[in-house]
Chain A
Amino acid sequence: MAQMQEEDNYIIKASGLVKKFGFKTVLRKIDLSLKKGDFLALFGPNGAGKTTLIQILCSLMRPTSGNVWIAGFDAEYDREALHKVIGVVSHNTFLYNNLSAYENLKFYGIMYRVMNLRERIEEVMGLVGLRGYMNDHVQTFSRGMQQRLSVARAIIHDPLIFFLDEPFTGLDQHGVEDFKQILKKFRDQGKTIVMTSHDLDRGLELCTQAAILKSGNLVYKEDVSKITQDDFKEIYFKLTGEQTLPV
Chain B
Amino acid sequence: MTFIQKVWAIVWKDITSELRTKEMLLSMCLFSFLVLIVFNFAFDTGLKNLRENISGILWVAFIFSGLMGLGRSFGVERDKGTLYGLLLCPISPWGIYLGKMIGTFIFMTIMEIFTLSIFTVLYNINVIPFLLPLGLIIFLGTLGFATIGTVFSAMSATTKARDVMLSILVFPISAPMIIALVKATGIILWGGAIQETYSWLKILIAFDLVFLLLAYLTFGFIIEE
The answer for the CA separation of A175 and B14 in the assembled complex, in Å, is: 30
Whether the Cβ atoms of A96 and B84 lie closer than 8 Å is no
Is A95 interfacial (CB-CB < 8 Å)?
A: yes
| CB proximity of A155 to chain B, nearest CB, Å | 13
Is A1 interfacial (CB-CB < 8 Å)?
A: no
Whether the Cβ atoms of B17 and A83 lie closer than 8 Å is no
Interface size range on B against A: 20 to 34
B2 contacts which of A83, A95, A113, A137 (Cβ < 8 Å)? A113
Contact flags (1/0) for B84-100 with A, using CB distance below 8 Å? 11111111100000000
Using A110-B6, A110-B9 as known contacts, say yes or no to A97 and B91 having CB atoms under 8 A apart: no
Whether the Cβ atoms of A98 and B84 lie closer than 8 Å is no
A96 contacts which of B82, B87, B225 (Cβ < 8 Å)? B82
The answer for the CA separation of A96 and B82 in the assembled complex, in Å, is: 7
Is B160 interfacial (CB-CB < 8 Å)?
A: no
Q: Which residues of B53-89 have CB atoms within 8 Å of chain A's CB atoms? A: 80-82, 84-89
The chain A residue sitting closest to B220, CB to CB, is A79
Whether the Cβ atoms of A83 and B84 lie closer than 8 Å is no
Which stretch in A29-37, A40-48, A58-66, A226-234 binds the other chain? A58-66
A contacts with B, residue count (CB < 8 A): 28
The chain B residue sitting closest to A58, CB to CB, is B88
Is B5 interfacial (CB-CB < 8 Å)?
A: yes
Is A115 interfacial (CB-CB < 8 Å)?
A: no
Is A223 interfacial (CB-CB < 8 Å)?
A: no
- B residues touching A (Cβ–Cβ < 8 Å)? 2, 5-6, 9, 12-13, 16-17, 20-21, 80-82, 84-92, 224-225
- A residues touching B (Cβ–Cβ < 8 Å)? 58, 60-62, 80-81, 83-84, 86, 88, 90, 92-99, 103, 107-108, 110-113, 137, 153
